[in-house]
Structure 1
Amino acid sequence: MTSFENLSNLEVNKSGLQQGERVALPENRLYFRKGKVGDLENHFTDEMNEKIDKLIDEKLGHTGLVLK
């Protein structure tokens, strides 16, 4: 259900409208991006990166999961 192919084929992700809706949602580009490695630098400030790193450490630090 959450595969890229399935999500990209949903009407709301094609037109910005859910079935039966008449009011458009914000543009999809505000929610989706290509997700290229290293592209985060073009979207996050240093402060945002620090906050995300801290949050990941707080939430996942106890799991032993190592993110590089």
Structure 2
Amino acid sequence: MEKIIEQYKDMMKFLSRECEKIMGHSLCKCSIVGMGSLGRSEITPYSDFEHIALLEGVQEKEN
């Protein structure tokens, strides 16, 4: 199971880097976090891919 967890993490890192290549560097601090079975370290080859992008708080400008 540890090998599968590392493979999922590597896949998340790869996808994050590919998105950054396309969209450019983030203007604020950000993090991609695995949720569900990955977050609990219970992932299997048939688990879904649940993750969330966390962004540093940004306040909107008025007009």
- Determine which structure has greater relative contact order: mean sequence separation of CA pairs < 8 Å that are 6+ residues apart, divided by chain length: 2
**By percentage of residues, which structure has more strand?**
2
What TM-score does the superposition give when structure 2 sets the normalisation length? Answer: 0.29
Structure that is richer in helix per residue: 1
Higher Cα radius of gyration = 1
TM superposition score normalised by structure 1: 0.27
